[in-house]
Amino acid sequence: MHTDITHLAIDHPGANDSAYRLRRDEIARAAIQFHKTGGEIPYIGYSSEEQTTWRNVVGTLDSLHAIYARDIYLDAKNILQFSPEILPELRDVSKKLQYESGFQLHPVEGLIESRGFLSTLAQRIMLCTQYIRHASRPEYTPEPDIIHELIGHAPTFLDPDIVKISECIGRAALYATPEQLIQLERIYWYTIEFGLVSENGKIKALGAGILSSIAECERAFATEIIREPFTIQTVIQTPYDFSAVQPKYFVCSGIKNLRKEIELFASLL
Ligand SMILES: [Fe+2]
């Protein structure tokens, strides 16, 4: 009998696709095993359908990145050299990233509680999913998938300021009270996941959730969308829905300023 490890909401694109759900569980089990026994990050061996989803997304994202991504992100993506044809394995990207920046990507079975996720960043490890979004909705995923982790997050760890911000939030999450943890989640969400940044007079994508989603990337820069200046005091009071597109975005005034603000906030907790 098959017991679901992965729980998909009723409106999830893969909710009624039993083969997709079985595949998600198979990949989740490999991550659970990794955390039990250690060793090498599991190779998934992506199917031709999964490779097609990768191909369908990365080409369009490349064109959006050329307009909306930061220079440092574009340089980092060149260094990591993702193939537009072949979905890379997390183990290979993690090894390359560790060599380039000291950051590693370890597998996780799905969304986990925020203290566990954030505090792992203090060890320069990001917990990453390895499954891919459902083929019927390549432009958007309601939860992180391998495209989000590799295209959204991995290149950003070649930015020393992102590394420092991640470590800082990670260390703070270790000892934060439940109320402070909610504040840290929101800071992380509105910067590392869905932040925008002003650079050389232009607004650019900072967050992995924007960089890895065609729909979110187009939305974040649409004229009718609300974009507010980032302040810590505003974002810690702004709840979010992790499985919906963002109703508004916050624009920080440069990555160095953002790092200073977050480090100051964390030092006062
Ligand atoms: Fe993420």
Q: How far is the CA of 152 from the centre of ligand 1 (A)?
A: 7
- Is 40 a catalytic site residue? no
- Is 89 a catalytic site residue? no
Q: How far is the CA of 38 from the centre of ligand 1 (A)?
A: 23
- Is 193 a catalytic site residue? yes
Domains of the chain: 18-267 (1.10.800.10)
Residue 268 pLDDT class (50, 70, 90 cuts):
very high
DSSP state of 18: H
Sheet harboring 226-229: ordered strands across? 202-205, 196-199, 248-252, 226-229
User: How does pLDDT run across 162-193, given as a tens digit for each residue?
Assistant: 999 999 999 999 999 999 999 999 999 999 99
pLDDT of amino acid 7: 67
How many CB atoms are located within 10 Å of the residue 62 CB? 15
More confident residue, 254 or 138: 254
User: How does pLDDT run across 72-84, given as a tens digit for each residue?
Assistant: 999 999 999 999 9
pLDDT of amino acid 55: 95
Count of helices and strands (H, E) across the chain? 12, 6
Report CA-CA distances (Å) from 35 to 4, 154, 164, 242: 19, 21, 25, 25
Structure tokens at 216: 């979110």
Instruction: Give which of 104, 237, 245 is closest to 166, Cα–Cα.
Output: 104
- Is 2 a catalytic site residue? no
DSSP state of 55: H
The residue whose two tokens read 């996720």 is 117
pLDDT of amino acid 5: 57
